[in-house]
Amino acid sequence: MSILVLSSFLMSALVAPAAHASPTYNVTTIPVGNSPVFEAYNPTNGNVYVANSLANTVSVISSSTNTVIATVVVGLNPAHITWNPENGNVYVSNHGSNTVSVISTSNAVVATISVAPQPHVVVYDFANRNVYVGSDASNLVTVISSQTNTVVTFVTVGVQPENLAYDFANHDVYTSNFASNTVSRIDSSSNTVTATIPVGSGPGQSGFDPANDNMYVPNTGSASVSVISSSTNAVIATIPVGLGPNPAFYDPANRDMYVTNRGSNFVSVIDSNTNTVIANVLTGPNPVWAGYSPSDQNMYVTNNGGNTVSVIDSGTQTVIATIVVGSNPHVAIFDFSNEGIYVSNQGSNTVSAIFISNLGNCREADGNGDFHGANGIGNFHADDDKCEDGDQNQISSTNLGDGTGFQSTQISTTTFNATAETVNITGLGTHNGVPVTFTFVALETGPTTPGWVSFTFSDGYSNAGTLTNGVIVLH
């Protein structure tokens, strides 16, 4: 069933209304299992995986047809899902059976792994390529090998480490110990705790900020956010927010942090430079999640008590649309295959797929050729105009100057500078077969200038130079 929802403007005494043309939102409702609580996008096969907590199944939604193409039986009460870029599999924590189910790209369970009691959040560690599993009923974090799908070790941390987060600055894993009011830092190389950091009451799901390399920890019982420095392991700021804050999310469009305040019905926007709240954006009742959409560079907030999604403009920090979805919407994720936002509706056993039309801001960043940089002669291919040609946005190179190649797997942001005639594209990809984050910058080819490109990767490699042949087109 498709429902046409026109964007509207939400009156707020805290923020000013948006002042630009409104897009249109089309919602497709997809029936899934009982009580869908979490979702994950798998770029290996382009499908969306939905954990149905009361059905003990995972529904697999095809991005091309928006239908359930497989229902995978897992353990009791699946609670969380994550994609593993090392092997392309999906890892599901089964809260009621103390196991993790590993689902292959062919949608079959290939391993069932016993873990610490009541497993919750699952995260992938890009440094050692292992999977870390939190626990609601112990002081243990389970470490699973991606190569063997067996337990490597159990790491002792604080009590009830249900939420985990990966730090891209120091490549370690941070556990929020809910009942101990602490955060533990687990060293990825040794799987030992190198720091135990006191925070506020009931720390929840943390968010990493790549703009300042800090970790933002929402304290659900203290109405605050603790900011932890990745370099010093010290709390450098405690920021007052609303009631019941959880989780914290990074917005790559404006480089701010968003915190959903479940008990206050607004989202706090934290400036990464000053660690102060710059806006409290009124949403619907009980906001529980904020998902970022690279298509329009806005945040989609699920209002669990209002059966709606609030769209927050990243530029103006105002709600520009309120979209009706199913009952008790929980998680919202972005599908890079079809650029839809998928919302799990826990109370109506459905997923709402939101698609944006009439954006009116289609921009083109295309090019290919060779360039001569400090690290050698390389080549590139850029295609970032899916809104125009329908092809998947991507950046690639078969030779970056040192003989290694690169292929993007996800475009997160595309930023045009009309004055400088440049484009800045960020996202995820593989450099020489290893997962990395990347930044690609291109200067448009002009009547008298050949153009210029730059590649920068999180593994430390970079190369930049002027084109020796080819062309870069920005519109």
Convert the pLDDT of each residue in 145-195 to its tens digit.
999 999 999 999 999 999 999 998 899 999 999 999 999 999 999 999 999
Residue with tokens 């009923």: 137
- The secondary element (H helix, E strand) that includes residue 33 is none
Taking residues 444-473, report their average pLDDT.
Answer: 86
Rounded to whole angstroms, the Cα distance separating 321 from 273 reads 28
Q: Let me know whether 69 and 102 are in one domain.
A: yes
* Per-residue model confidence (pLDDT) at position 393: 83
The 3-state DSSP class for residue 457 equals strand
Q: Let me know whether 424 and 316 are in one domain.
A: no
Q: Let me know whether 344 and 382 are in one domain.
A: no
**Of residues 227, 211, 229, the one with CA closest to residue 219:** 227
Total count of residues recorded for the chain: 475
State yes or no: pLDDT of 387 exceeds 90. Answer: no
**Of residues 400, 453, 468, the one with CA closest to residue 423:** 453
Q: Which domain holds residue 109?
A: 2-357
* Per-residue model confidence (pLDDT) at position 447: 63
Q: Using an 8 Å Cβ cutoff, are 290 and 301 in contact?
A: yes
- Tell me the pLDDT tens digit for each residue of 63-102: 989 999 999 999 999 999 999 988 999 999 999 999 999 9
* Per-residue model confidence (pLDDT) at position 270: 98
Strands of the 140-145 sheet, one edge to the other: 119-124, 130-135, 140-145, 151-156
Q: Using an 8 Å Cβ cutoff, are 38 and 54 in contact?
A: no
CATH number at residue 101: 2.130.10.10
Domain boundary among 322, 337, 357: 357
Taking residues 359-384, report their average pLDDT.
Answer: 84
Q: Let me know whether 335 and 425 are in one domain.
A: no
Q: Let me know whether 158 and 298 are in one domain.
A: yes
387 backbone dihedrals φ, ψ, rounded to 5°: -65, -20
Question: If you average pLDDT over every residue of the chain, what do you get?
Answer: 90
Quote the Cα angle for 449-418-420, to 5°: 45
Q: Using an 8 Å Cβ cutoff, are 321 and 305 in contact?
A: no
Beta bridge partners of 384: 365
Name the DSSP class of 75. Answer: S
Domain boundary among 334, 357, 380: 357
Quickly count: other Cβ atoms within 10 Å of residue 285's Cβ: 12
- Tell me the pLDDT tens digit for each residue of 214-263: 999 999 999 999 999 999 999 999 999 999 999 999 998 888 999 999 99
Distances in Å between the Cα of 28 and the Cα atoms of 20, 67, 324 are: 26, 10, 11
Backbone φ/ψ region at 375: left (φ over 0), alpha (ψ -120 to 50), beta: alpha
Rounded to whole angstroms, the Cα distance separating 263 from 285 reads 8
**Of residues 322, 350, 354, 358, the one with CA closest to residue 338:** 354
Rounded to whole angstroms, the Cα distance separating 242 from 275 reads 15
- pLDDT band of 386, cuts 50, 70, 90: low
Q: Let me know whether 352 and 409 are in one domain.
A: no
Rounded to whole angstroms, the Cα distance separating 60 from 339 reads 17
The 3-state DSSP class for residue 400 equals coil
15 backbone dihedrals φ, ψ, rounded to 5°: -140, 155
Q: Let me know whether 373 and 229 are in one domain.
A: no
Quickly count: other Cβ atoms within 10 Å of residue 180's Cβ: 20
Distances in Å between the Cα of 95 and the Cα atoms of 98, 117, 195, 251, 346 are: 6, 8, 27, 30, 16
Domain count, the chain: 2
* Per-residue model confidence (pLDDT) at position 441: 94
174 backbone dihedrals φ, ψ, rounded to 5°: -110, 130
* Per-residue model confidence (pLDDT) at position 475: 67
Q: Which residues contact 232 (CB under 8 A, 6 or more apart)?
A: none
* Per-residue model confidence (pLDDT) at position 11: 26
The 3-state DSSP class for residue 225 equals strand
State yes or no: pLDDT of 1 exceeds 80. Answer: no
Q: Let me know whether 36 and 132 are in one domain.
A: yes
Domain boundary among 357, 374, 391: 357
Q: What percent of the chain has pLDDT over 90?
A: 75
